[in-house]
Amino acid sequence: MLSIETASYDVSLETFSVSNPNIRVAMHFLMPDLDVPLHLRGFMKRGEEQTFPSNTRLFGVLTAMDVLQKKVYRMLFVPNFNHVQQHRFDNVVVETLLHTKHQHENFVYGINKMVANLNNYLKQSMQLLQQTHASDPRLAKIHSVYWTFPLAMNNTVLEMYVPYVCLVCRGDVMVNNIDKNKWISIQNFFIQELMSSCKESGIMPSEFIKISREALHDSNNQHKVYLHVANMFSMLVHKHIRYMTDYKATGLKDSIAINNFDGFLYADCEDMAQASYDLMRVCRKVFPSTKKDILNGATTFVYHVSAWLNNSHLGIIQGATGKSYDKKLGNHIWTCILPYESYPVFVEGTLGKFQPSIYRYAVRFWQRGHDRLKDYLLINSHNGNYGIDCNTFLQQKNINEFIEQNSYQSQTSSVKKDIHFAANLQIDTFNLLNYLINSK
């Protein structure tokens, strides 16, 4: 705990050095107990001083970029004030010395308890997988249960295991705390981007509006509307984020972060899925329209898009892709729109469009709602094995009910706070939405 005698304290960066001249390093701070944008502090330079509130936990984030290999390393650490701290990335050593007159008394911050709770949760998820047969032998190693990132504290580095359900929570700070001063800028961003994506996908916005109105009177036409919506957001993400495997970007098999090299954004499929998921959540929030608004005929193009998003659930799916005759299938994560009255569609940022033929099985399903957090293992009801054929999945008109009836749910209620805290230990150096708006 910090001293209760002060409402804030000053921190100065006295030492900041790296052992390899080809490595560029930067440091910023996170206070995940605070709402956005207060939770994030920008890069701190040597000799600089910043003031922090004393009633929240503080984490440092080191970002190291290898300019030759174009690889990025990130590490969270608990500041040990007034002592030199060494942070290791492979063979690179970064030294920091943060000075303050108000010393922390407890460097652990309750992290050990949170880590233990998440580890128990993940152990149960792994046991569920091991106790359940796969629908297809090729699915034996096709699953995503957790990712890891290093957390340095008390001169040791702890590998934190973070459940993949956190993907649907990481954007909460962006979605739930939209700056009202940027509301118009955000609306203009979606108007320009979605109209452009609509045209590039081969349909004029005026034609989409016509199809949208027709779908109000015939639910069988709604699927066509959702196909267009899926392709719009697929193209939006594909336009702004380039696909790069985690291993190529970081040297790690799993790394959750969008990386910035030479002015371009790079990400793996799970980060593109999260970007799609969160951008759709923001869109339907800043354009709060419904089917009733469309019926009244008083809405413009993006309000039509948002009305159909508001008439559906959103989720993220992990599963397998490839040809039916392939010896091995590929592990993949993508976003799903689950309409209330129509068939589901997939949002695919890695390709820029929804191609149903590439998907073989849906294995896990994650969803975030106001009062719910869903972490499901999808089950084939005919044989009790995990993994649902994607053709079957896409043919379900009552898809939300279908998922509830054909899945094993991990109980998130007891660890919801731990999951949210782990998800909001944001290690990205930028707010995706702000970056996209400012880069235009």
Residue 52 lies in a domain: yes
Q: What is the pLDDT of residue 362?
A: 97
Report the number of distinct structural domains present in the chain: 2
Same domain, 279 and 172: yes
Same domain, 379 and 299: yes
Same domain, 70 and 181: no
Residue 118 lies in a domain: no
Same domain, 381 and 252: yes
- CA contacts within 13 A on the Cβ side of 206: 0
Cβ–Cβ under 8 Å, residues 235 and 353: yes
Same domain, 92 and 189: no
Question: Which one of 99, 120, 138 terminates a domain?
Answer: 99
Global pTM reads 0.89
Question: Which one of 99, 116, 147 terminates a domain?
Answer: 99
Question: Which one of 49, 66, 99 terminates a domain?
Answer: 99
Series of mean pLDDT values for 10-residue runs along the chain (440 residues): 60 91 87 78 88 86 80 84 87 90 64 89 93 93 85 79 92 84 92 94 92 90 96 94 63 62 79 94 94 83 96 96 92 96 96 95 93 92 94 96 95 90 72 71
Same domain, 267 and 404: yes
Q: What is the pLDDT of residue 428?
A: 63
Distance in angstroms (rounded) separating the CA atoms of residues 310 and 294? 12
Cβ–Cβ under 8 Å, residues 79 and 98: yes
Q: What is the pLDDT of residue 3?
A: 39
The CA distances from residue 191 to 196, 287, 300, 301, in Å, are 8, 10, 10, 8
Range of the domain at 402: 168-438
Distance in angstroms (rounded) separating the CA atoms of residues 82 and 242? 41
Same domain, 91 and 183: no
